[in-house]
Amino acid sequence: MADVAALSSFLVSAVGLAVPLALAALGETVSERAGVINIGLEGSVIWGALGGALGALAAGPWAGLAVGAFAGGTTALLFAVFAVRLNTDQIITGTAVTIGSLGFTGAVFQSRFGVTGLALELPTAPAWEVPLLSRIPVLGPAFFDQAATAYLAYALVPALGWFLFRTRWGLALRAVGESPDAAHAAGVPVVRARTLAVVFGGLTAGLAGAHLSLVHTGTFAEGMSAGKGFIAIAVVVLGRWSPKGVVAAALFFGGAEALQFALQAWDADLPYPLFLALPYVLSLAALAGWFGRSRAPEGLGVGWPR
């Protein structure tokens, strides 16, 4: 019985940790399907976390989530103005956006709350229990007693699958990612499509950040994104650019992170930095394995001069 309870609480924690990765990675999937690799995703996550914190302090957790998404989307828009509109190098632009976001979120945070280092206490978004489904043994509480962000992530999987593979706009978006010249010749507005895809990715990455501050921790700390945005990009590769695959990969990483917490709780003398490194090492190992060979959209990372 104790084992079942332990498993159950492990799963709850795994799903909770997977949600921000899944949100950010689903958005990045759309962006990469349109041919843009956004390393600035990490910047969207940290701005989402700060925006979430400020919004929640001003008007409660729901406003916080909205402000977080907006902040993430705005960050991505800045990236898109450079990398899509001005057609600057995507990698370098994304790196700059991430560096700047880490710096300026710190600056905003310090000017608003000082440099005292006191932990901030935020109103958190509550978990919603889904009637009936949450009663399923073990899996029920893990998947159906989570915050709103989790349900949004679930809903995005079929929605994005339908959008990308069953609609005209999805076909156009994928065409932009595979071959921007062909898409342009077919009358698809390449710059607008790429910009919208990137901004969508920023919105979900912002939500992922808000999840970190308003669901996961209830506080904000400088640099709290801690590479989540980067891992999300690895998750997209492992999920082979499909919404279902991406969510599966996100759950895998959520599990790895939960395992690390569980092991720490189990024996405090274990060297915890090694466990902290675990998700990153796993990402590398998975990329090196058979996953790495799946085919990216052909136009990924390639600029398109108008």
Q: Is 178 in the site for another protein (CB under 8 A)?
A: yes
Q: Is 29 in the site for another protein (CB under 8 A)?
A: no
C-beta of residue 52 within 8 angstroms of C-beta of residue 214: yes
Q: Is 167 in the site for another protein (CB under 8 A)?
A: yes
Q: Is 120 in the site for another protein (CB under 8 A)?
A: no
Nearer to another protein, 11 or 234 (CB): 234
Q: Is 183 in the site for another protein (CB under 8 A)?
A: yes
Of the candidate spans 10-18, 117-125, 127-135, 277-285, the one that interacts with another protein by CB under 8 A turns out to be 277-285
Nearer to another protein, 65 or 190 (CB): 190
- Residue 210's DSSP bridge partners are none
| d(C-alpha 260, C-alpha 227), whole Å | 16
C-beta of residue 287 within 8 angstroms of C-beta of residue 261: no
How many amino acids of this chain bind another protein (CB under 8 A)? Answer: 66
Nearer to another protein, 156 or 237 (CB): 237
Nearest-approach distance from CB 267 to another protein, in angstroms: 15
Q: Is 302 in the site for another protein (CB under 8 A)?
A: no
| d(C-alpha 96, C-alpha 94), whole Å | 5
Nearest-approach distance from CB 80 to another protein, in angstroms: 13
Q: Is 92 in the site for another protein (CB under 8 A)?
A: yes
| d(C-alpha 211, C-alpha 229), whole Å | 13
C-beta of residue 226 within 8 angstroms of C-beta of residue 62: no
Site for another protein in 209-248 (CB under 8 A): 222, 227, 230-231, 233-234, 237
Q: Is 117 in the site for another protein (CB under 8 A)?
A: no
Nearest-approach distance from CB 140 to another protein, in angstroms: 34
Work out the burial of residue 4: count CB atoms within 10 Å of its CB; fewer than 13 is exposed, 13-18 middle, 19 or more buried.
exposed
Q: DSSP secondary structure string, 63-77?
A: HHHHHHHHHHHHHHH
Residue type, 29: T
CB-CB neighbours of 288 under 10 Å: 9
Q: Is 158 in the site for another protein (CB under 8 A)?
A: no
**Contacts of residue 176, Cβ cutoff 8 Å, sequence gap at least 6:** 34, 35, 183, 188, 190, 193, 194, 197, 299
Nearer to another protein, 144 or 230 (CB): 230
The number of C-alpha atoms within 13 Å of 32 and in the hemisphere containing its C-beta is 27
Interacting residues toward another protein by CB under 8 A: 37, 39, 82, 86-89, 91-93, 95-97, 99-104, 106-108, 110-111, 115, 166-169, 171-172, 174-175, 178-179, 181-189, 222, 227, 230-231, 233-234, 237, 271, 273-274, 276-277, 280-281, 283-284, 287-288, 292-293, 298, 301
